């Protein structure tokens, strides 16, 4: 069990980077990568 939210975010970033592409589309805004958005979603 992960006790720290920072450790949880880091672990989610590692898992998401292995599973998701860099960007969903070449026309995307590129503000955040899908891996970053997934990590934020996990924390919510």
Contact 5, 43 (CB under 8 A): yes
For residue 42, what pLDDT band results from cuts at 50, 70 and 90?
Answer: confident
For residue 16, what pLDDT band results from cuts at 50, 70 and 90?
Answer: confident
For residue 2, what pLDDT band results from cuts at 50, 70 and 90?
Answer: low
User: For the chain, what are the domain ranges?
Assistant: 5-43
Q: How far is CA 19 from CA 4, 12, 14, 34, 40, in A?
A: 23, 11, 9, 10, 16
Q: pLDDT averaged over the chain?
A: 84
pTM: 0.66
Question: What pLDDT, on the 0 to 100 scale, is given for residue 19?
Answer: 86
């Amino acid at each position: 069990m992960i006790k720290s939210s920072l450790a949880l975010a880091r672990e989610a970033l590692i898992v998401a980077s292995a599973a998701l592409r860099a960007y969903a589309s070449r026309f995307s805004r590129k503000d955040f990568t899908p891996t970053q958005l997934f990590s934020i979603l996990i924390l919510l």
